[in-house]
Amino acid sequence: MDFGALLLTLVTFAPLLGAAALLLVKPEQKNALRWVALITALVTFGISLGLLAIFNPADAIRIDLPWLSVAGWNVHYHLALDGLSILLVLLTTLLTPLAILSTWTSVEDRVRQFMAFFLMLETGMLGVFLAQDLFLFYIFWEFTLVPMYFLIGIWGGERRIYAAVKFFLYTMAGSVLMLVALLWLGTQYNTFSLPELIAQRANIPPQAQTWLFLAFALAFAIKVPMWPLHTWLPDAHVEAPTAGSVILAGVLLKMGTYGFLRFNLTLFPQASWEFSPWMALLAIIGILYGALVSYAQTDAKKLVAYSSVSHLGFVMLGLFALNQQGIQGALLQMINHGLSTGALFLMVGMLYERRHTRALDAFGGLWKVIPVFGTLLLIVSLSSVGLPGLNGFIGEFTILLGAAGSDALGNAWNQIVTALGVSFIPMRSAGGLWFAGFAALGVIFAAAYLLQMYQKICLGALKAENQNLKDLSWREIITLLPLLVLIFWIGLYPKPFIDLIAPAINQMLGY
Amino acid sequence: MFVPFDSTMLLAILPEILLVVLAGVVLALDAAWQPEKRRWLGWLTVVGLAVAFILTATVSQPESEPRLLFGGMLRDDWLSFAFRLVFLFGAAITTLFAMDHEALGRKGEFYVLLLVSTLGMNLMASAGDLIMLYLAIETTSIPLYILAGFITTDDKSTEAGFKYLLFGAMTSAVMLYGFSLLYGFSGETNLYLLAGKLGELPMPALLGSLLLVLVGFSFKVSAVPFHFWAPDVYEGAPTPVAGFLSTASKAAGFAVLMRVLLAAFPAALPSWQGLIALLAVVTMTVGNLLALAQTNVKRLLAFSSIAHAGYILIGVVAVNAAGMNLGMASVVFYLIAYLLTNLAAFGAVATFGRVSGSDEMDAYKGLSRRSPALALVMLVAFLSLSGMPPFGGFIAKVFVFAAAVEANWIWLAVIGVLNSIIGLYYYLTLLKYVYLYRQDNLEEEQKPLPISRPYALALVLLVIGIILLGTAFNPWFEWSRTAAASLF
Amino acid sequence: MIPVEYYLGLSAIMFVIGALGVMVRRNPLVIFMSVELMLNSANLVFVAFAHAYQVLDGQVFVFFVMTVAAAEVAIGLALIVSIFRSKHNINADTVNELKG
């Protein structure tokens, strides 16, 4: 086992070890528990940086050991870090310590269990991003559910139990059909290994490919969540504790988009091509719907939650443009959404800690009393809007370019136009542009709802009860700082990030 | 195939001999000892069963080729070997749960009946002849009737025993009529000789007698429509006994079901596959849907146990004539995982019920604050029941569904996974009470909840087992496969 | 000699009567008698075929069945007595502490 392989195993299971270590600390020593969890998360982040240091974009870091092999069953302990997963792994290991830091004063009840569940969740998420064996992937996929269920159910808001159960059942309902699909693949081709299945994908009969695509897509679409399967998301987000929301929006939703990228696009290219206009259509509906509903929200957290539906629509559009630009943009946008929305949830959580409400009309004019908060919120909101110079712009712009130039979407458009008998030439030549055009409306809407939120919170008349709000503490600033640095970095100089992911995407498309 | 008698054959029935000896010793000491010393009878039984387990595992391993011993009465193969170990383990755990039970712990006859019933299960798993099979089933059932009605001062318990007896006697009579027809049509009582003669029989006669036989087996495994007894009996019977009924007794039923279907009815394979598939669908759906409405944990577990019988039947359907696929192996694996998981669930319920005196879900509110350790056991057990990784129940379900997919019963697997979502819902409901709800009176949560030593030992063993099955499942599955392969 | 089909027919009739009795009657003692009837219908088949085939297996089976039936009834009566003690009534409909 070489060094990289060792690090892969370590990064995945270090949080679990940390969770076990928590059992050695007495439940009353809350600060000790917090420190143990934070240090574990930081060590995990350190290991992932180590992986980044030895990472070569052209080649994956891999560990592949047989786990079970009887009667034509070949389940492997197979983890790999490649261009598709590295940024998501880094995002996970970065957001976890920040989220833990954000709970320092807000979680007082059952700290030990909270931290244990949180770290278990991290192991599950990292496993999902790293697993290269379908069986192993499914185990990690399901493994993330239980900790999140408890994080929402125990430490959540008023309707936490309803939200937790809804979250669990929705996700589970989607993923069981994926289980049947992957069992079919595993028994049919005697392997669960993703690279081996990709090598054999030409042998999958077209009709089976369609069904398999749909089974996988259902699981991932619920997780993303794509319109119209998104209804669990607002509930889960609103009721989850701040740290839970950060991880939910920042990482858990990416498991869905990542699943599309890693499994649907690579295993079933033919079906992906056929379904791409439909997926793009759902994505655009999601973009516009999410944006409009966001605009109507009066609860800050709910607003940010619906904005996720909109932003992830962009990611899906990029993925199903099925070209290099689209996928590259989608992958970048996954990271950007994790950073921006993560930061937004953190800041809404900070407001909530101070005022115990998230209603937008309870605030106003906060700029005057807490200027640091106001400045940071402005930056984060603008990054989420997609202002040039900040990270959101890079992702969304690349996605729109990808969609506009997409063969898959353009082709579909032409077919529709031909079927309708329209002979107006410009419509024919640039079919993808129509998809991009509608999606671009989403950017404008985003500006509307986010700036409206900003306006209601920070501008206008100051209410009497908000006069004595305390500005951000050092701990809170430290929590936000890494996110802000990355927001500017990706926005101004995205090349290092693109260099990390581009070779893998080219390789994937060139199979 | 038939082996003439020699003294080494006795080695093949060593576990049964040890059980009889142990039962005799317990019975004698029960008479000889003063009442206050009798708690030691429990430990004696546990140690005896552990010794029997170890000796069986090491000394009486079957030979590589299956043999028919004692004039064809018993079949010595890996399947019976595997199941005997499962039964011995289950009995030992049940003893641990019973030891501190007020009404059971100091009664010698309780342990004797448990041992005799285990003996019957051992024979069920290895029976190779209709006569032996019938006797084994009755040797298992009759002590279980008494055990279910053991607490004569409790109306619910006697009623449970009574209902169990009535249903059991009737279904076993139907099954016996099926046996008599099989004998009538073939002139043979040996299962392995039956197959040859039955092949020539017209299909209606064959299926008719198969149906009658299936009635008896469905009762044993609590498959719909012979499941009515389960909820009542589980609720009324002492909790450790209910645990034993739902695991070891069910496993024994499946061992017999598999052996009889494959040994005596290979000729009708496509027909009974369809029949069992139907049975599986109805069983899991009815079990799961009825479980949704339950407020008593033991009744919930009863319906869940019916549903699980349905999942296991999927594995039985997925068998193919060549026998080298996952079908039967997945059944054996599932039964092992289910035994560990459900014993843990019933053990936790018994531990809780002993202190709180209630099995209602409401009483479980805030349990995670009152006793984090017990709550954790319940978490592991119920998540494993619902089929979440990384626990044994997950792997077991996956194997059963994979077997169905592999054998091209994809629609059956789809119904199975959809059912497991319903299952998830009610298991989560209970976990909601344990973890998310609080007692109305918060002082209730401060009351201590002692877990006595036998309970702790058994629960720790089971939890470790569940996690092992879910993570290091390779050797276990290899074992199940060897056992299943010896059926053919 | 009476053909074996006649025995089979008689046993089938006995079996159906027994099964109906179990389902219809509410007195546990009568239910037990009906179960006995079912068991004996099986016994009849065993004996008839053992005679027809001229092999002993069937006869042996009958002995075991009779023993088992005796054991079952003994347990059943014990349980009935213990129910009677608390309820002073053994009608199967009044045994309804449990919901089923």
Tens of pLDDT, residues B147-200? 998 888 888 888 888 889 988 999 999 999 999 998 888 888 888 888 878 777
Residues in C touching B161 (Cβ below 8 Å): 79
Contact B420 A176 (CB under 8 A): yes
Mean pLDDT for all residues in chain B: 87
B 44-83 residues with CB < 8 A to A: none
What pLDDT sits at residue A427? 53
Q: CA A237 to CA A242: how far, in whole Å?
A: 9
In a domain, C94, yes or no: no
Check residues B238 and B12 and name the one with the higher pLDDT.
Answer: B238
Q: Which residues contact A185 (CB under 8 A, 6 or more apart)?
A: A134, A192, A197, A204, A212, A267
Q: Is the pLDDT of residue B323 over 60?
A: no
What is the distance in angstroms between the Cα of B472 and the nearest Cα belonging to chain C? 41
Q: Which residue's structure tokens are 């024994």?
A: B252
Q: CA A455 to CA A449: how far, in whole Å?
A: 10
Please state which of the ranges A226-240, A417-431, B1-15, B473-487 shows the lowest mean pLDDT.
A417-431
In a domain, A403, yes or no: yes
User: Which DSSP category does B289 fall into?
Assistant: H
Contact B388 A180 (CB under 8 A): no
Touch between chain A and chain C: 3 or more Cβ pairs under 8 Å: no
Residues in B touching A70 (Cβ below 8 Å): 474, 477-478, 481
Domain range for A431 is 275-511
Residues in B touching C75 (Cβ below 8 Å): 142, 145-146, 165
Q: Smallest Cβ distance to B389: which of A139, A153, A173?
A: A139
In a domain, C26, yes or no: yes
Query: Which amino acid is it at A239?
Result: E
What pLDDT sits at residue B322? 59
Give the angle subtended at the CA of B233 by the CAs of B230 and B236, to the nearest 5°.
Answer: 145
Mutate to test the interface with A, among B385, B398, B469 (most CBs of A within 10 A): B398
| Among A265, A340, A354, CA closest to A310 | A340
Contact C61 B131 (CB under 8 A): yes
pLDDT, tens digit (0-9, with 9 covering 90-100), for A172-218:
888 888 988 988 888 888 888 888 888 888 888 888 889 999 999 99
Q: CA A168 to CA A239: how far, in whole Å?
A: 14
What pLDDT sits at residue A428? 52
What is the distance in angstroms between the Cα of B434 and the nearest Cα belonging to chain A? 11
pLDDT, tens digit (0-9, with 9 covering 90-100), for B375-391:
889 999 999 999 888 89
Q: CA A223 to CA A173: how far, in whole Å?
A: 11
First CA to last CA distance, chain A: 28
Q: Is B460 touching A (CB cutoff 8 A)?
A: no
| pLDDT band per the 50, 70, 90 thresholds, residue A280 | confident
| pLDDT band per the 50, 70, 90 thresholds, residue C94 | low
Chain B residue with CA closest to A110: the answer is: B369
Q: CA C42 to CA C63: how far, in whole Å?
A: 12
Which sign does the torsion angle of CA A18, A19, A20, A26 carry? positive
CB neighbour class for B34 (10 Å; exposed up to 12, middle 13-18, buried from 19)? exposed
pLDDT, tens digit (0-9, with 9 covering 90-100), for C55-81:
888 888 999 999 999 999 899 888 888
Are residues A343 and A483 in contact, defined by beta-carbon separation less than 8 angstroms?
A: yes
* Structure-block tokens of residue B347: 């053990």
| pLDDT band per the 50, 70, 90 thresholds, residue B324 | low
What pLDDT sits at residue B321? 58
pLDDT, tens digit (0-9, with 9 covering 90-100), for B114-151:
999 999 999 999 998 999 999 999 999 999 999 998 88
Q: Smallest Cβ distance to A180: which of B401, B425, B477?
A: B401
What is the distance in angstroms between the Cα of B137 and the nearest Cα belonging to chain C? 10
As for how many domains chain C has, the answer is: 1
Q: Is B468 touching A (CB cutoff 8 A)?
A: no
Are residues B155 and C97 in contact, defined by beta-carbon separation less than 8 angstroms?
A: yes
Chain A residue with CA closest to B436: the answer is: A154
In a domain, C66, yes or no: yes
Contact B481 A70 (CB under 8 A): yes
B 366-385 residues with CB < 8 A to A: 383
Contact C65 B189 (CB under 8 A): no
In a domain, A269, yes or no: no
What pLDDT sits at residue A177? 87
Mean pLDDT for all residues in chain A: 85
Residues in C touching B212 (Cβ below 8 Å): none
What is the distance in angstroms between the Cα of A213 and the nearest Cα belonging to chain B? 16
Give mean pLDDT, residues C1-14: 87
Q: What is the largest CA-CA distance in chain C?
A: 54
Long-range Cβ pairs for the range A483-486 (8 Å, 24+):
A483/A98, A483/A339, A483/A340, A483/A342, A483/A343, A483/A346, A483/A380, A484/A343, A484/A376, A484/A379, A484/A380, A486/A339, A486/A391
Chain B residue with CA closest to A189: the answer is: B406
Q: Is the pLDDT of residue B224 over 90?
A: no
Residues in B touching A142 (Cβ below 8 Å): 388-389, 394
Q: CA A455 to CA A453: how far, in whole Å?
A: 5
Contact B135 C58 (CB under 8 A): no
In a domain, C62, yes or no: yes
Contact C75 B142 (CB under 8 A): yes
pTM (2 decimals)? 0.90
Give mean pLDDT, residues B100-119: 88
SS3 state at A62: strand
pLDDT, tens digit (0-9, with 9 covering 90-100), for A335-390:
999 999 989 888 888 888 888 888 888 787 778 888 888 888 888 888 888 888 88
Domain range for C74 is 4-87
Q: Which residue's structure tokens are 């695509």?
A: A213
Mutate to test the interface with B, among A25, A28, A70, A177 (most CBs of B within 10 A): A70
Check residues A356 and A416 and name the one with the higher pLDDT.
Answer: A356
HSE, side-chain direction, 13 A CA sphere, residue A282: 19
In a domain, C18, yes or no: yes
What pLDDT sits at residue C96? 62
Contact B474 A67 (CB under 8 A): yes
What pLDDT sits at residue A72? 67
* Structure-block tokens of residue C68: 């088992």
Percentage of chain A lying above the pLDDT 90 cut: 8
Mutate to test the interface with C, among B138, B177, B290 (most CBs of C within 10 A): B177
DSSP-assigned letters across all residues of A390-443: SHHHHHHHHHHHHHHT-HHHHHHHHHHHHHHT---HHHHHTHHHHHHHHHHHHH
Other C-beta atoms closer than 10 Å to the C-beta of B438 total 12
Q: Which chains does B contact via 3+ CB–CB distances below 8 A?
A: A, C
Q: Is the pLDDT of residue A423 over 80?
A: no
What is the distance in angstroms between the Cα of B41 and the nearest Cα belonging to chain A? 36
Check residues B251 and A356 and name the one with the higher pLDDT.
Answer: B251
In a domain, A229, yes or no: no
Q: Which residues contact B432 (CB under 8 A, 6 or more apart)?
A: A153, A161, A165
Q: Is the pLDDT of residue B306 over 90?
A: yes
Chain C residue with CA closest to B231: the answer is: C100
φ/ψ region of B222 (left if φ > 0, alpha if ψ in -120 to 50, else beta) reads left
Q: Is the pLDDT of residue C93 over 80?
A: no
CB neighbour class for B184 (10 Å; exposed up to 12, middle 13-18, buried from 19)? buried
Burial annotation B382-405 (CB, 10 A radius, 16+ → b, else e)? bbbbbbbbbbbbbbbbbbbbbbbb
In a domain, A330, yes or no: yes
What pLDDT sits at residue B172? 92
Q: Is B481 touching A (CB cutoff 8 A)?
A: yes
Are residues A287 and A313 in contact, defined by beta-carbon separation less than 8 angstroms?
A: yes
Mutate to test the interface with C, among B123, B135, B176, B212 (most CBs of C within 10 A): B176
Contact C22 B170 (CB under 8 A): yes
In a domain, C42, yes or no: yes
In a domain, C100, yes or no: no
Burial annotation A15-49 (CB, 10 A radius, 16+ → b, else e)? bbebbebbeebeeeebeebbebbbebbebbbebbe
Residues in A touching B401 (Cβ below 8 Å): 179-180, 183
In a domain, C92, yes or no: no
B360 - beta bridge partners? Answer: B296
Q: CA A338 to CA A332: how far, in whole Å?
A: 10
| Among B336, B472, B482, CA closest to A67 | B472
As for how many domains chain A has, the answer is: 1
In a domain, A419, yes or no: yes
| pLDDT band per the 50, 70, 90 thresholds, residue A422 | low
Contact C76 B165 (CB under 8 A): yes
Q: Which chains does C contact via 3+ CB–CB distances below 8 A?
A: B
**CATH classification at residue C17:** 1.10.287.3510
pLDDT, tens digit (0-9, with 9 covering 90-100), for B326-356:
778 888 999 999 999 999 999 999 988 888 8
In degrees rounded to 5, what are phi and psi of residue A132? -120, 10
What pLDDT sits at residue B6? 76
First CA to last CA distance, chain C: 49
Mutate to test the interface with B, among A137, A169, A176, A192 (most CBs of B within 10 A): A176
What pLDDT sits at residue A186? 84
pLDDT, tens digit (0-9, with 9 covering 90-100), for A153-177:
888 778 888 888 888 888 888 888 8
